[in-house]
Amino acid sequence: MMSHARAAAGRVRARRVRQPMTPGRVVMYLLLVVTLVIFLVPIYWMFLSAFKPQADVYTWPIKWVTVHPTMANFTEAMRAAPFLKFFWNSVVTSVVGTVVELIFAVMCAYAFVFIKAPFKGFMFMLVLGSMMLPGHVTLLVNYITISQMDLLNTYAGIILPALASSFIMFLLYQEMRTVPDELIESARMDGAGHLTRMMRVVMPICQPMVITAALITFMGKWNAYVWPLIVTSTADMRTLPIGLKFLQNDEGGTNWGAVMAGSVMAAAPMLILFFIAQKKIVGGLAAGAVKG
């Protein structure tokens, strides 16, 4: 039986290989290659420059391969700026912010789907309407609020204004709508309250989307730049994206080898996380887009 299945799979693959190469297909492949090059060349250049000797960074014509890789740029970046502190600040603000934001989003989505309340539809539209506002519109209000709470230049000041996300709530809302009503009603008849129903019935079913939402939220907080730049004022509270600018300023914008090394340290964790979880991220976004 297994041999027949493998043979059938082989025939399917063979049929796919034999598909005619039409002009439209050629154009599509060319566009894919161009797109791939546009996205990959900057990333390759960043990693290459980080490991190049200083003299090779500015050579012309460009050397696309280095035969003498070095860690000197990383040493220089670590010397010029406290990157370990930047890394720790990014970890704290991203992990804590993601966990709390996800809790709020899950509870909000559950309330909109399963709890009856007056004006629920109107409130839901207000929450969705907040997605239309550019994030920079609230910067001044958030800064005044955090300042009056005496939380400037603190972890709480970085984390608090970004704890509510209508986009993440909407993703979870769409997923929770697919939970069968019979399961919720059965749990209710067994005496389960809302918290028990959410944790033991809804969350296990929505686990893939919750993971997707967590990954998207974490990546957004890790790469956040504007708000941490505004709300922090000392080097020991800066996060990695701001640390790169800090490094560039210290180097006068000339030591691009050290700048690229810092960029690698900032981008590598997110690249690894994306390659590990890319199927969940893309699948979750696609599922959230098509479920109505």
Is it the case that residue 5 has pLDDT exceeding 50?
Answer: no
Three-state DSSP state, 232: coil
More confident residue, 24 or 11: 24
When pLDDT is cut at 50, 70 and 90, the band that residue 248 belongs to is low
pLDDT value for 60: 79
**Contacts for 216 with CB less than 8 Å, ≥ 6 apart:** 168, 171, 281, 284, 285
Tokens (6 digits) for 226: 């504007």
Backbone dihedral region for residue 96 (phi beyond 0: left; psi -120 to 50: alpha; all else: beta) = alpha
Give the residue-averaged pLDDT of 283-290: 62
Q: What element of type H or E holds 283? A: helix 256-290
Give the residue-averaged pLDDT of 41-48: 89
Is it the case that residue 289 has pLDDT exceeding 70?
Answer: no
pLDDT value for 90: 92
More confident residue, 20 or 111: 111
Q: What is the mean pLDDT of the chain?
A: 83
**90-96, long-range: CB within 8 Å, 24+ apart, which pairs?**
90/222, 90/239, 90/240, 90/241, 90/266, 92/155, 93/155, 93/158, 93/159, 93/221, 93/224, 93/228, 93/239, 94/218, 94/221, 94/222, 95/218, 96/155, 96/159
d(CA 187, CA 120): 23
Give the residue-averaged pLDDT of 251-279: 79
pLDDT value for 7: 53
Measured from the Cβ of residue 224, the count of other Cβ atoms closer than 10 Å reads 21
d(CA 15, CA 8): 11
When pLDDT is cut at 50, 70 and 90, the band that residue 10 belongs to is low
pLDDT value for 1: 43
When pLDDT is cut at 50, 70 and 90, the band that residue 196 belongs to is very high
pLDDT value for 155: 93
More confident residue, 5 or 70: 70
Is it the case that residue 34 has pLDDT exceeding 90?
Answer: yes
pLDDT value for 288: 58
- 61-108 pLDDT tens trace: 778 888 888 888 888 888 888 888 998 999 999 999 999 999 999 999
Is it the case that residue 249 has pLDDT exceeding 60?
Answer: no
Give the residue-averaged pLDDT of 141-166: 90
Is it the case that residue 290 has pLDDT exceeding 60?
Answer: no
